[in-house]
Structure 1
């Protein structure tokens, strides 16, 4: 269920409910311009139904404080689980914990609380980890990898030398194929982007270095 709250369909549904309620908490009448964080409360739950598969009338907009009172709980300060992230492209969102304008939304969930979309610092504070910080840095590295001027394209092949590895993405009728240091991969990728994302993760995670070390030992 955790991953459901990181789904963009939930984010879109949540904003729809907030818009239908006039962008304010239905209890206290305050909105984001007043510095409050707005959340969507399900009035009831139906087993097997995804959070965005409810009719908007089954939900209502509450500020964080009113939402806490509705549940009769105080938001936990620890024990949160990091479940996903989204890059909005610019400062288009607001942290649901502190209200700060954010670009990177990190989704966290607690067994006694609903999912929240928060900024990097608040995410790390709630989870007691540096997952959000490391994820944001990884996203930055990935964007730079994709936009690198070192990528060369000749006919149906994209090539680059990255962190000591010679990479090639070969476009074929059945999909894209990866070649790393002249070793051809067996997998096929539906697009150049998917192939580049895979090979970026392969190198960035350190798995490529481990693989290269094993090959050297065998030879």
Structure 2
């Protein structure tokens, strides 16, 4: 039986872990309602460059409160990596719904039929000081396991990846995403590329 958002909300430990990375004990778990201040600090400390590549409405306590308020209210699962169980250094988001333009674009451009039951959208964000240290690759192995526990077979990039974000493209390809070469324009009229990862391979 696949895990649901209700299951995870009732028992976050179902998808939580404590493991060492480069000598640091990392607690990886769902975002919790009392994480507001921790999350606000994480968002506020993101550099302008990292903010350019993310999709949050703002980078402050108000946004942190919105994300915490949304826990198990919509179709989103947000997971955080923490040091000392206090400092958030990574935020990963799943959307368990597929939007209409993604259905259409994947079918038309790549001949891929998306399925809301077995596919999910995925977006990562890592603190600047922990980028380029393979933390994202390490955590993505945990993410794949959680996605499979939720009955997901494929992940697509949430909103794609900006076509000039070469570092992110390399990361996605390294962890198993196929990045397509066809450019599309997002809602801000920025050039983006789609990506998909088969979790069963």
Bigger Rg, which one: 1
> Of the two structures, which has the highest relative contact order with CA contacts closer than 8 Å and spacing of 6 or more?
2
